[in-house]
A = this chain, B = another copy of it.
Amino acid sequence: MKIDKDAPVGVFDSGVGGLTVAREIMRNLPSEKIVYFGDTARVPYGNKSKETIIRYSRQIIRFLLEQQVKAIVIACNTASAFALDAVREELEIPILGVIEPGAYVAAKETKNKRVGVIGTIGTVGSGIHEAFLRKLDPDITVIGKACPLFVPLVEEGWLHDPVTKEVAQRYLGELKEKEIDTLILGCTHYPLLRSTIREVMGEGVRLVNPAYESALTLGRILEREGLLRTDGGREEFPYRFYVSDLADEFKTFANSILPYDVEMTQKIDIEKY
């Protein structure tokens, strides 16, 4: 199969969180076209089973292939943890998740070999970061902590708020006690809480943002495969956003995250795929 270098990159998430990944691709690979799918009808993925997440991911990938994407980024930690291995073999185009790029940087940068991971119950419970980190360096100790209130706090818009700080202190206290020097923000919403997390963890802890690292990894993969766009002409293809429900709320949130106004979002019946 000959892959079209000028085709867009497909990015998907359970909802709006993956927009932090799309944002990093826009910033770091400005020539790339993007088709984004947010599964807002079935959000959140964090409390669903592996079997369900694989089924949802396959449906979304079928939709993205119909949009003729040249590569796919699973911009959702839960789906990366549960579905990436299952779907990778089924595809002829490159696909990457957000777990590996973040784990790789954390393994490289930790000095005391104590790495923290925060995320949803599903992601942390999967132990996927630990598995990657230990494969990269068996001496690393991984301390995971699920932070289920962080996503609703972000979606409520309480990004810089005493309640959010108190919740962060509660969740992160354990990680501080265990003296980690590196913390992976293992959920796509969490970069939006970066300043609160930074305040609670202190300057001594390196915060790893997998959204940023995944954008860089995508660039390296596209270059290796001869698929990186370097020419202009991106402007002729406005970023495209699809959702499975309630396009208006998505737009409001997207406009608060992205550096420009999202003009077009379209609703897709994803269960048909």
Contacts and interface: CB of A to CB of B under 8 A. Distances in A.
Interface stretch (A83-91, A145-153, A183-191): A145-153
Q: How many copies does the complex hold?
A: 2
A212 B246 CA distance: 32
Contacts of A177: none
A117 B40 CA distance: 26
Interface in A239-263: 245-246, 249
A271 B66 CA distance: 23
Contact of A152 (B149, B163, B170, B271): B149
A52 interface: yes
Interface in A159-202: 162-163, 166-167, 170
Interface stretch (A26-34, A41-49, A107-115, A220-228): A41-49
Given A148-B155, A155-B148, A246 B49 contact: yes
Nearest to A161: B170
A167 B148 CA distance: 16
A152 B151 CA distance: 10
A156 interface: yes
Contact of A48 (B149, B152, B246): B246
A33 to B, nearest CB: 29
Classify chain A's interface size: 20 to 34
Interface string A199-235: 0000000000000000000000000000000000000
Contacts of A170: 163
A114 to B, nearest CB: 26
Contacts of A162: 166
Contact of A148 (B41, B47, B48, B156): B156
A155 B156 CA distance: 17
Q: Which of A42, A149, A249 has the most CB of B within 10 A?
A: A149
Contacts of A156: 148-149
Contact of A163 (B148, B163, B245, B246): B163
Contacts of A149: 149, 152-153, 156
Given A43-B47, A151-B152, A162-B166, 16 more contacts: A41-B42, A41-B48, A41-B52, A42-B42, A47-B249, A48-B246, A52-B245, A148-B152, A148-B155, A149-B149, A149-B152, A149-B153, A152-B152, A163-B166, A163-B167, A166-B166
